[in-house]
Amino acid sequence: MSLAGVFVGVHLLSASHSGIRSAISVVLSLLALTANFLASVAVSRWRPAAFTVDAAASAFRTLPQPGHVYQAVGMAFFSATFITITVNMHTELRGWPSPDRAEQFMAATMVVLAVLLVVLSVVFITAAWQGIGVRLGPDGLQDRSVLGTLAVPWDALTTASLPAITPSALFLQLTYARPDLIRVDGLPLTRRQIRTDTVNALFLAHTMHHCLVHPERRQRIGTAAGYTELLTALYGPGPNRFSHPPA
């Protein structure tokens, strides 16, 4: 979809008629709104009660969230929209730089906004590519967002750290027994809220509770056997254990 937008933009910008060239901003803005709408739908509905086993990192990771990809695409289209408007504005001005200070200010503002949106697009695309979400390891939990990473060692938590929560909750609000052990890399918006837009919140809470109650099993995190053991503990044995989140 992004490549299609780029091809349409190049074609329209190369057209001689200014009205046709201006149409690209409308096309790109509609694509941006569509991508962000799809992102909202995906984030609100897609929260699987499952992890993927990352043996290389000795971790259980949340599955990729389609909404994050749509957000990155939407941001890219928004930045392309501002770039297009800026190009059209400079083309329509009576010479450049314009002698009119108001036009100069407007054009400069559009350039700054376009640059900022391009930077944000790169950040969103990079984060979506590298993976956003929760990672459980033998040493603790990491919550990676677009802005940074929050690392919570198991020693910072007790079973009382976990709140009562519903499967569709967007955050897991933790109470730390040892807040001095918490580490922040980047600019997470909060040190206590673990985002659960990539996983069923109740499944994550029960998994963390299982790891806290059974510290001897943490070394098997990141292995297929450890994941099977976790699912058996939460769901019980049998072929239907994957069908429902833990009650």
Per residue in 189-237, pLDDT (tens digit) is: 677 889 898 899 999 999 999 999 999 999 999 999 999 999 998 887 7
For the cut 50, the answer to whether the pLDDT of residue 244 exceeds it is no
Rounded CA-CA distance 28/77 in Å is 6
Q: Token pair for residue 193?
A: 């809220």
Q: What is the pLDDT of residue 100?
A: 63
Residue 103 resides in a domain? yes
For the cut 50, the answer to whether the pLDDT of residue 247 exceeds it is no
Give pLDDT tens digits for 58-99.
999 998 877 777 777 887 887 777 777 777 766 665 555 555
Instruction: Say if residue 163 is in the same domain as residue 230.
Output: yes
Residue with tokens 């001897």: 216
- Name, in order, each residue with C-beta under 8 angstroms of 231's C-beta and a sequence gap of 6 or more: 241, 242
Give pLDDT tens digits for 96-130.
555 566 766 776 777 777 777 777 777 777 766 66
Domain final residue pick, 109, 130, 151: 130
Q: Please say whether the beta carbons of 205 and 164 come within 8 A.
A: no
Domain final residue pick, 84, 101, 130: 130
Instruction: Say if residue 110 is in the same domain as residue 151.
Output: no
Q: Give the whole-number percent of the chain exceeding pLDDT 70.
A: 77
> Number of folded domains in the chain?
2
Strand 171-173 and strand 193-195: the pairing is antiparallel
Residue with tokens 């074609």: 11
Enclosing domain of residue 81:
2-49+64-130
Specify the pTM. Answer: 0.69
